[in-house]
Amino acid sequence: MKNNHNRSLYWYGFKAKVKVFFGKVGILLGLLISFLGLASDSSFILLGLLFIGLGVWGCAVGTSQRFDYKQQSGSMIHRGDW
């Protein structure tokens, strides 16, 4: 019987990195939309704040999953938390 724990652990860490990346993109997109909403006096500011909130949430979830991945893989014990 093969041990697929390392393979599933790799994808767990990869998904965490993707969530952090899209969280950062969401924050940048939210800032851009908010500034455009301020420049044009429209209600795009609320949409921008929504994207910023979703981006912060995505970064928080991805970062916590990344930390959990490092604990499970043992890389935090050997190299520290980067």
| Domain boundary assignment for the chain | 24-72
User: Quick one: average pLDDT of 42-66?
Assistant: 90
pTM of the model: 0.75
pLDDT at 67 over 90: no
User: Quick one: average pLDDT of 53-62?
Assistant: 94
pLDDT at 37 over 70: yes
Residue 72's pLDDT is 74
Contact call for residues 58 and 26 (beta carbons, < 8 A): yes
pLDDT at 24 over 90: yes
DSSP 45-74: HHHHHHHHHHHHHHHHHHHHHHHHHHHHHT
- What is the percentage of the chain residues whose pLDDT exceeds 90? 39
Share the mean pLDDT of the chain.
Answer: 82
